[in-house]
A and B are shown apart, each in its own frame.
Chain A
Amino acid sequence: MVAKTLKAIRLMADFLQFIIAGTTVGAVYTLVAIGFSVIFNATRIVNFAQGEFLMIGGMSAAFLLKAGLPLWAAALLAIAVTAAVGMALEVFAVRIARGAGILMLIVLTIGAAITFRGVAQIIWDRNYHSLPAFSGTAPLDIFGASIAPQSIWVIVVCLVVVAALHLFFTRTLVGKAMRAVAADRDAAYLCGIDVNRTMLVAFALAGALGAVGGVLIAPIALIHFESGIMLGLKGFAAAMLGGIGSFPGAIAGGLVLGLGEAFTAGYLTSAYKDALAFLVIVIVLIARPNGILGKSTAGRV
């Protein structure tokens, strides 16, 4: 009887552990997915360099810290740097290639991703780097599951960012203008909205969002110049899962993906956790071509 109860408690603790792990990873995927959506809404471009924004954020924070800056300053400066990189990408590449076909734009952003990786290995190096956890590493115990303080940071910061973005898009003039562009680009242009500026803001935001993700996960996962590839693909998957362009979709997609991975790794096999994530996405796309929360008309022409 006691053994049975203990076993039940153990199972519950495992379950909770997977939920925490999945939510943490899911929060990072959500940040990447929102980055994809912000740019997609403003430009109809899928930015395959979104994962590189995480890498740039994480790497520059690590090197700024090494240069002697306090952690908070290194983090903030890294976010600013990455936002600037995003803006540079918009001004020097996306703006010039405007009107090109969807494949050309995919090539453009993949070219940007390769360029960023190339620059990263030159100005930094090819080694793995990390940041110290924001508030120590002593795990907290919740109902038998242990939770790293950094996990709480990831989840809380992600929530704050989502809330702040919501306010930005519903309360500020720039944010409203960006929503107008997302809804109908031509109409927005005719209403006198500066479409160029909304595109610039979108890339700055996406860069900053990526950097936040990079700085948050650097203490958990090591960062190096190729870290952005898989993170970018997973974030793209999360965005598509929820329906690209939709913020609630990005959150749902990120969480489904993160939790799915955590439970697959925990209960089935860690070897196939990545594969299962992509299998789920393929199946969801076939069954619901516009994502789990997507509208039934958009995107399928």
Chain B
Amino acid sequence: MMQFVPARSLLPLSGLALALVAAPFLLPNSFALGVAILAILNAAVAVGLNLFVGSAGQISLGHAAFFGIGAYAAAILSGTYGFNGAVALLAGAVASGLLAHASGRTILRLSGHYLAMATLGVGIIVYLAINQEIGFTGGPDGKAVPPFRIFGAAVVGEMQWYWIAAIFLLIVTWMALNLVETGYGRSLGAIHASEHGARAVGIDVAAVKTGIFVLSAVLASVAGSLYAFHIGFITPSEAGFLKSVELVIMIVVGGLGSVFGAILGALLITALPQFLTGFHDYEQLVFGLLLMLVAMALRRGIVPTLATLAARWAR
């Protein structure tokens, strides 16, 4: 009998903290640091999305919409209306949460390709609205975002943003591990495996699905706001279909249902195009081929595949 250890995630969590602390000293230049910030924010989104997709077995092809709502809440509330950045971030999170709750209650009854289509539809509606409401959003040309201020001092510079993003990711990872190790995570797995079975053991399937959808939306929104403040200029593509697809690719490549898989996947998929820019015209071709290779060769994603290999080796 394995003993129940409440903090079995302590080791990997400290490993992540260590890597995050060490990274800025190992990265060659501020460009690489910028990529790292983006990767970390994407990782936070991917961890949340993986709870909804990997753990609970649902599908979202429109998650970038929540990232975009967070980003534009930052740009509009803080830029156009002069609110404090933290207020803008919270407002974006609340708006994303409300949209996820309202749409989740209805579309999460669907499954498979139907759910894929419905989430895709909601995502595209948000994207098109951002494109069209030029008065608020600047439309396809994008919108500038003023710097984030804490007690009147602007947060500028890659290093400061790096630490903010890193702390955010650590908190998100800690919370996600708490969730998957306890009863709520078990409910997600139960829903994934059998909704009838889940109901029979007293799980409110609709409420749990909606809850985890809202959580993943709020995390995406906060990451979107931080991204907007960091990068200083955003375009509708942050909310677009390709960004949504990118997020799904991150968790699929890293490993569905694995918290650290989501982080690794986000890191790879964010960094890869930076390396591929060396290929110029061949960037898309190489990226597409790599995706197809992963889908054919690593069906369960990198981290679960490695974990199985390690377990077999240890045996």
Whether A and B touch (Cβ < 8 Å) is answered with yes
Say which size band chain A's interface belongs to: 35 or more
A-contact 0/1 string along B92-132, CB 8 Å cutoff: 00000000000100110111111011101110110011001
Judged by a CB distance under 8 angstroms, whether A31 is at the interface is: no
Contact among B112, B113, B294 for A107, CB-based, below 8 A:
B294
Q: Are A272 and B248 within 8 A (Cβ)?
A: no
Of B73-81, B141-149, B214-222, B280-288, the one touching chain A = B280-288
Say which size band chain B's interface belongs to: 35 or more
Judged by a CB distance under 8 angstroms, whether B53 is at the interface is: yes
* A237 and B125 alpha carbons, distance in the complex (Å): 13
Q: Are B114 and A110 within 8 A (Cβ)?
A: no
Chain B residues within 8 Å of A112, by CB: 288, 292
Given the known interface contacts A107-B294, A244-B113, the answer about A118 and B129 at a Cβ–Cβ threshold of 8 Å is: no
Contact among A93, A101, A118, A290 for B296, CB-based, below 8 A:
A93
Given the known interface contacts A240-B114, A272-B128, A301-B111, the answer about A103 and B53 at a Cβ–Cβ threshold of 8 Å is: yes
Q: Are B295 and A289 within 8 A (Cβ)?
A: no
Contact among A100, A290, A299 for B299, CB-based, below 8 A:
A100
* A299 and B249 alpha carbons, distance in the complex (Å): 24
* A236 and B120 alpha carbons, distance in the complex (Å): 10
Judged by a CB distance under 8 angstroms, whether B291 is at the interface is: yes
- Smallest CB gap from A113: residue in B: B288
Chain A residues within 8 Å of B117, by CB: 236-237, 240, 281, 285
Q: Are B289 and A237 within 8 A (Cβ)?
A: no
Q: Are B241 and A115 within 8 A (Cβ)?
A: no
Q: Are B291 and A108 within 8 A (Cβ)?
A: yes
Q: Are B248 and A101 within 8 A (Cβ)?
A: no
* A111 and B292 alpha carbons, distance in the complex (Å): 5
Number of interchain pairs (Cβ within 8 Å): 143
- Smallest CB gap from A40: residue in B: B113
A-contact 0/1 string along B177-198, CB 8 Å cutoff: 0000000000000000000000
Q: Are B112 and A97 within 8 A (Cβ)?
A: no
Chain A residues within 8 Å of B113, by CB: 46, 102, 240, 244, 299
Q: Are A115 and B125 within 8 A (Cβ)?
A: no
- Smallest CB gap from A301: residue in B: B111
Chain A residues within 8 Å of B112, by CB: 102, 299-301
Contact among B129, B288, B290 for A275, CB-based, below 8 A:
B129
Chain A residues within 8 Å of B296, by CB: 93, 96-97, 100, 108
Q: Main SS of chain A's interface residues?
A: helix
- Smallest CB gap from A103: residue in B: B252
Q: Are B291 and A271 within 8 A (Cβ)?
A: no
Chain B residues within 8 Å of A290, by CB: 114
A-contact 0/1 string along B274-315, CB 8 Å cutoff: 000000011111111111101110010000000000000000
Judged by a CB distance under 8 angstroms, whether B88 is at the interface is: no
A-contact 0/1 string along B253-288, CB 8 Å cutoff: 100100000000000000000000000011111111
Q: Are B110 and A285 within 8 A (Cβ)?
A: yes
Q: Are B284 and A114 within 8 A (Cβ)?
A: yes
- Smallest CB gap from A98: residue in B: B296
Q: Are A285 and B118 within 8 A (Cβ)?
A: yes
* A237 and B296 alpha carbons, distance in the complex (Å): 27
* A35 and B291 alpha carbons, distance in the complex (Å): 23
Judged by a CB distance under 8 angstroms, whether B40 is at the interface is: no
* A223 and B292 alpha carbons, distance in the complex (Å): 25
* A233 and B128 alpha carbons, distance in the complex (Å): 14
Contact among A96, A233, A299 for B241, CB-based, below 8 A:
A233
Q: Are B124 and A300 within 8 A (Cβ)?
A: no
Judged by a CB distance under 8 angstroms, whether A255 is at the interface is: no
* A184 and B28 alpha carbons, distance in the complex (Å): 57
Interface centre among A101, A115, A117 (most CB of B within 10 A): A115
Contact among B114, B249, B285, B299 for A300, CB-based, below 8 A:
B114
* A233 and B244 alpha carbons, distance in the complex (Å): 13
- Smallest CB gap from A111: residue in B: B291
Contact among B110, B125, B248 for A289, CB-based, below 8 A:
B110
- Smallest CB gap from A280: residue in B: B121
Judged by a CB distance under 8 angstroms, whether A104 is at the interface is: yes
Given the known interface contacts A97-B296, A282-B121, the answer about A107 and B114 at a Cβ–Cβ threshold of 8 Å is: no
* A236 and B119 alpha carbons, distance in the complex (Å): 13
- Smallest CB gap from A273: residue in B: B128
Which residues of chain A in 68-124 are interfacial with respect to chain B, using CB atoms and an 8 Å cutoff?
93, 96-97, 100-108, 110-119, 121-122
Judged by a CB distance under 8 angstroms, whether B245 is at the interface is: yes
Chain A residues within 8 Å of B106, by CB: 286
CB distance from B2 to the nearest CB of A (A): 28
Chain B residues within 8 Å of A108, by CB: 291-292, 295-296
CB distance from B58 to the nearest CB of A (A): 10
Q: Are B252 and A118 within 8 A (Cβ)?
A: no
Judged by a CB distance under 8 angstroms, whether A15 is at the interface is: no
Closest CB pairs A-B (n = 4): A118-B285, A111-B291, A115-B288, A118-B284
Q: Show the binding face of B for A, using Cβ within 8 Å.
A: 53, 59, 61, 103, 106-107, 109-114, 116-118, 120-122, 124-125, 128-129, 132, 241-242, 245, 248-249, 252-253, 256, 281-292, 294-296, 299
- Chosen A-B contacts, 24 in total, with CB atoms closer than 8 Å, are A101-B256, A103-B59, A104-B295, A107-B249, A110-B249, A111-B292, A111-B295, A115-B289, A116-B288, A118-B285, A118-B286, A119-B285, A121-B281, A121-B284, A229-B242, A233-B120, A237-B117, A237-B121, A240-B114, A244-B113, A271-B132, A281-B117, A285-B107, A286-B107
